[in-house]
């Protein structure tokens, strides 16, 4: 199955715009059955992308990718995510068949402007999962909740790890779901940041219905 499509666009929604330096290789905690440093099939692991090589085409449906592929969040570390075979050192907006780099780095940076792109997609998602980083029991601004209620979109807020796992499950069931996932560390990584890949995450292994490396 081809990797999900990465959408990098110059949007009027400022909160969805990417920051420079977001496409870099970083070590990830594995969320799939892939062994550290590569995929389970022995192929190379996720690689960074150039921001300029994946323009959004006019009329592209972010909820139903033309490629027929699905986005699967396969890894994470404090500074970003693996989505399929792509490494994004940023918070992300994950759609069923595509994803965007997302500018907010902490919960207090989440604004209506940073999320309103989601309600403008067609067909509209049924569910928006908001990953609040490492923290639990966070509440979005009532204005944001009212906006999505008006558009008939249910909003659930949970920590990023649970939100990523829930996104994978709902997406595998062909639900119209979007996840707005804050990276775990709101700060930029130190210069030259690199560490070995960690062991598989049991929660995401369960979400995939697979066993991790033994």
Q: What is the pLDDT along the chain (214 residues), one digit of tens a residue?
A: 445 655 544 344 444 444 434 444 444 555 543 333 334 445 555 544 333 333 333 333 455 544 468 999 999 999 999 998 888 999 999 999 999 999 999 999 999 999 999 999 988 999 999 999 999 999 999 999 999 999 999 999 999 999 999 999 999 999 999 999 999 999 987 776 654 344 456 666 666 554 333 3
Q: In angstroms, rounded to a whole number, what is the distance separating the alpha carbons of residues 102 and 111? A: 12
Q: In angstroms, rounded to a whole number, what is the distance separating the alpha carbons of residues 211 and 214? A: 8
Tell me the H-state helices in 91-159.
112-119, 142-150
Q: Is residue 163 part of a domain?
A: yes
Q: Is residue 116 part of a domain?
A: yes
Which H helix or E strand runs over 83? Answer: strand 80-83
Q: Which domain holds residue 63?
A: 5-208
Tell me the H-state helices in 52-181.
112-119, 142-150, 160-172
The whole-number pLDDT of residue 193 equals: 62
Helix (H, G, I), strand (E, B) or coil at 16: helix
Pick from 27, 12, 120: which is nearest to 77 by CA?
A: 27
The token pair at 106 is 């902490």
Q: How many domains does the chain have?
A: 1
Pick from 167, 162, 202, 171: which is nearest to 29 by CA?
A: 202
Residues 186, 105: contact at Cβ < 8 Å? yes
Q: Is residue 213 part of a domain?
A: no
Q: Is residue 123 part of a domain?
A: yes
Q: Is residue 131 part of a domain?
A: yes
Q: Is residue 94 part of a domain?
A: yes
The whole-number pLDDT of residue 156 equals: 98
The whole-number pLDDT of residue 184 equals: 96
Q: Is residue 113 part of a domain?
A: yes
CATH number at residue 156: 3.40.1230.10
The whole-number pLDDT of residue 191 equals: 72
Q: In angstroms, rounded to a whole number, what is the distance separating the alpha carbons of residues 50 and 54? A: 8
Q: In angstroms, rounded to a whole number, what is the distance separating the alpha carbons of residues 182 and 34? A: 23
Q: From edge to edge, which strands make up the β-sheet containing 127-131?
A: 5-6, 98-102, 91-94, 177-181, 127-131, 154-158
């Amino acid at each position: 199955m081809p990797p999900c499509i990465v959408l990098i666009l110059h949007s009027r929604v400022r909160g969805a715009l990417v920051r420079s330096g977001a496409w870099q290789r970083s070590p990830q905690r594995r969320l799939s059955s892939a062994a550290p440093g590569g995929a389970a099939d022995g192929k190379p692991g996720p690689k960074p992308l150039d921001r300029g090589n994946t323009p959004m085409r006019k009329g592209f449906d972010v909820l139903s990718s033309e490629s027929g592929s699905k986005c699967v969040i396969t890894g994470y570390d404090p500074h970003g995510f693996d989505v399929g075979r792509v490494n994004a050192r940023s918070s992300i907006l994950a759609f069923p068949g595509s994803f965007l780099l997302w500018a907010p780095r902490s919960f207090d940076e989440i604004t209506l402007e940073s999320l309103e792109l989601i309600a403008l997609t067609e067909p509209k998602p049924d569910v928006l999962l908001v990953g609040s980083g490492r923290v639990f029991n966070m509440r979005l601004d009532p204005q944001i909740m009212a906006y999505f209620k008006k558009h008939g979109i249910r909003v659930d807020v949970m920590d990023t790890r649970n939100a990523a796992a829930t996104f994978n499950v709902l997406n595998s069931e062909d639900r119209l779901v979007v996840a707005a996932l804050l990276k775990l560390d709101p700060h930029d990584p130190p210069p030259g940041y690199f560490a070995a890949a960690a062991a598989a995450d049991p929660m995401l292994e369960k979400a995939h219905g697979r066993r991790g490396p033994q």
